[in-house]
């Protein structure tokens, strides 16, 4: 997932998906995330300060999603980024269709978007 995220950063310089497509041809998947983690290529790309709408849409078209759950706390990347007030991540995610009403898979909603 990190390799695809870094290839996304390379896109910002080259304006070509060639490296990303090559990595996918080797078997890397944008939607893959380890069971214990809520990080896929899309999330990793934004965490690495990637901001290209084209790259984000590319990852989404390949099945990556903002709706991946962390096995430990049951939250999604939106929950953890809201907790730490990472506004730029949240703005990009919401701009690209992340569900602002997503619930944790363990227990009650820890934070509300209305707070």
pLDDT per 10-residue tile (average), the chain, 115 residues: 91 94 95 80 93 96 92 88 93 95 72 49
Token digits of residue 55 = 């790259």
Domains of the chain as residue ranges with CATH: 3-106 (1.25.40.20)
Are 93 and 66 in contact by the 8 Å Cβ rule? The answer is yes
61-87: b (≥16 Cβ within 10 Å) or e: ebebbbebbbeebebbbbbbbbeeebe
Q: So what's the pLDDT on residue 35?
A: 64
Q: So what's the pLDDT on residue 22?
A: 96
């Amino acid at each position: 997932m990190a390799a695809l995220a870094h290839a996304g950063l390379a896109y910002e310089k080259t304006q070509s998906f060639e490296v990303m497509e090559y990595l996918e041809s080797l078997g890397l998947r944008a939607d893959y995330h380890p069971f214990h983690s809520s990080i896929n290529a899309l999330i990793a790309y934004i965490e690495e300060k990637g901001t290209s709408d084209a790259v984000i849409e590319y990852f989404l078209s390949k099945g990556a999603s903002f709706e991946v759950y962390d096995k430990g706390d049951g939250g999604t990347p939106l929950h953890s980024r809201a907790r730490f007030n990472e506004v730029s991540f949240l703005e990009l995610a919401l701009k690209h269709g992340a569900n602002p009403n997503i619930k944790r898979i363990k227990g009650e909603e820890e934070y509300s978007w209305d707070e």
